[in-house]
Structure 1
Amino acid sequence: MPGITDWDDAYANIVHIPGGAEFPDRWLRDAAAFRATRAPEAVGGGEFHLPEGAPRGLMVFIHGGYWMKFGPAWFSHLAQGALARGWAVLLPGYPLAPTGTLSGMRDAVAAQVAAAAERVAGPIALTGHSAGGHLAARLICDDSPLPAPVLARIRRCLPISGLFDLRPLQQTAMRGDLGLTDEVARRESPLFHLPARDLDLHIWVGADERAVFVQQSRLIHAAWAGWPDRTDLTVEPGRHHLDVIDGLADPAHPLTEALLGGF
């Protein structure tokens, strides 16, 4: 990859995707249409969806938006794949920057996961997109705020297009809103932690994403290889940063299978 001179552009997604600006409104419409068919319960600031019958486990999807945008209400429809496979689904909310801090977001998500885990037996499958992929990875780090019994139930973590080394973002205009001092960037980067060992890790990223996102995914896959029970990397052909999550709405999609298969 050639040297980067404009880090804001390197980490920009919407402007480099045809029709990219339309995606948030589309997500919001699809999510609202899904909720109209089955209203979720509230768990903290998140949405909690129960399947028909006893849940096989708990799937957690943490939304993205560079820690500054969106919320569970944009992504409710992504619960469909897991629900169809008999899993309960939690879409946590978290306090957005600049009011919220990265550590505060991590702790808020952890509290909601712990609350949902009290209601659902069985394994936990943890995923998240972009900034949510970062938070998913942070929850399985050696300083995880999750209660030990809950962390032990996480059998698979699948960050999608995540951000695992936050130091490059110090070169962007986001650094102020995110409070990215040198200390914060290192402390909140999963790259500088070791992950839990007794789980499967699957890193997922779109082949048509910005080069830095593919690089981030390859970096954490290489750094954490050998620590979890299993470590995989999928670079999904034909997917960019905004449509790489679409497969979660389909119970038969390879992304949903990678997250929930084998349980």
Structure 2
Amino acid sequence: MEKSLKKMTRTQQELDLQYENGSFIPNAQSYADAWEAASAQFREAHAGEYDLAYGDHPRAIYDLIQPDSGPNGLFVFVHGGYWLSRHKDDWTCFGEGALMADWSIAHLGYPLAPDARISEITAHIANGITEAAQRVDGPIVLAGHSAGGHLVARMAMQGVLPAQVTARLSHVLSISPVSDLRPLLNLTMNDTLRLDAAEAAAESPALGRPMPDVPVTVVVGAQERPVFLDQATWLARAWDARHVILPGRHHFDVINDLRDAQSPMLRVALS
């Protein structure tokens, strides 16, 4: 019995490790520390409207920063953290490239599990984008990383955003997304996410289809965990989307190009 229990525990650990990034990236915490520091500096350097409410939950807030000249459109960033952690303030610096290209940038906060199920988080993101879209004219580009990559992909699907917002979507940039949620049913994190089979399927972009005429690019780092390479491939194949594998990048530095207005990733998204 004891041997059997140890075998079960080891198997669960192996399942969980498939979706664990930090343990496989040297000095992983240094990336989060650098994001937070750069984002704080970015907010100090740029006047903006911060912590604007788009809903009743304390985390249903967003930041809006406008360029000096008239904006080319609205760039929205949705952060990751497995729907369980992180805060929009940790990621402000990743709007730098879009702002340099004269786009207004919005960073969305959202309630986390277990306060909200993933389907509820999806609805919050749709509400936040809709609110921000009322403040800025022109095309809308959505970018998200990891769980945020999942959430922006959901926005590209029928019936999630209002028609008037969908009509303005010019590109969706899904970076290192979790596109099929069904494998998460077997992970320890699901004790907090509370996914069931029906919700996991309904919230999986790889099992659905994007709206026609909404360009989608799926980006992943070549050095990411095998399951993230798989998750990106599943979405790109299911949607016949542009699939970019960035050489030498892992889960924590694959988003760096968002800080560079001239990076190929951002130039394609904003074109």
* Fold in common (TM above 0.5): yes
> How much does 1:128 deviate?
0.1
The answer to whether residue 87 in structure 2 is matched with residue 91 in structure 1 is: no
Alignment check: 8 A CA contact 2:117 2:195 kept? no
Cα separation, 2, equivalents of 1:176 and 1:190: 22
Give the secondary structure class of the aligned counterpart of 2:167: helix
The answer to whether residue 250 in structure 2 is matched with residue 240 in structure 1 is: yes
Q: Determine which of 66, 69, 73 is the counterpart of 1:50.
A: 66
Q: Determine which of 236, 239, 248 is the counterpart of 1:221.
A: 236
User: Aligned ranges for residues 1-263 of structure 1 at < 5 Å?
Assistant: 6-42=14-50, 43-44=52-53, 45-144=61-160, 146-225=161-240, 231-260=241-270, 262=271
Number of residue pairs matched by the alignment: 251
**Identity percentage over the alignment?**
39
Question: Which residue of the partner structure matches residue 228 of structure 1?
Answer: none
The structure with more radius of gyration: 2
Counterpart AA for 1:18? P
> How much does 1:40 deviate?
2.6
Cα separation, 1, equivalents of 2:202 and 2:47: 37
Provide, for residues 168-202 of structure 1, a one-character-per-residue CA deviation record: whole Å limited to 9, x for no partner.
11111111211111111111111222211111111
Alignment check: 8 A CA contact 1:49 1:79 kept? no
Cα separation, 2, equivalents of 1:241 and 1:35: 24
Alignment check: 8 A CA contact 1:158 1:204 kept? yes
Provide, for residues 44-66 of structure 1, a one-character-per-residue CA deviation record: whole Å limited to 9, x for no partner.
21111111111100111100001
Alignment check: 8 A CA contact 1:142 1:193 kept? no
Give the secondary structure class of the aligned counterpart of 2:172: strand
Cα separation, 2, equivalents of 1:149 and 1:207: 36
Cα separation, 2, equivalents of 1:169 and 1:97: 14
Cα separation, 2, equivalents of 1:174 and 1:39: 37
Cα separation, 2, equivalents of 1:143 and 1:178: 23
> How much does 1:222 deviate?
0.7
Alignment check: 8 A CA contact 1:46 1:112 kept? yes
Provide, for residues 18-57 of structure 1, a one-character-per-residue CA deviation record: whole Å limited to 9, x for no partner.
0112222221111001111113313321111111111100
Q: CA RMSD in A?
A: 1.1
Provide, for residues 219-252 of structure 1, a one-character-per-residue CA deviation record: whole Å limited to 9, x for no partner.
1111111xxxxx2100000100001111111111
> How much does 1:258 deviate?
2.5
Cα separation, 2, equivalents of 1:36 and 1:121: 25
> How much does 1:91 deviate?
0.7
> How much does 1:255 deviate?
1.9
Counterpart AA for 1:249? R
Cα separation, 1, equivalents of 2:31 and 2:24: 13
Give the secondary structure class of the aligned counterpart of 2:253: coil
Counterpart AA for 1:243? D
TM-score under structure 1 normalisation?
0.93
Counterpart AA for 1:190? P
Counterpart AA for 1:97? A
Alignment check: 8 A CA contact 2:207 2:238 kept? no
Cα separation, 2, equivalents of 1:190 and 1:156: 16
> How much does 1:110 deviate?
1.1
Cα separation, 2, equivalents of 1:170 and 1:21: 27
Q: Which runs of 5+ in 2 are unaligned?
A: 1-10, 54-60
Alignment check: 8 A CA contact 1:142 1:195 kept? yes
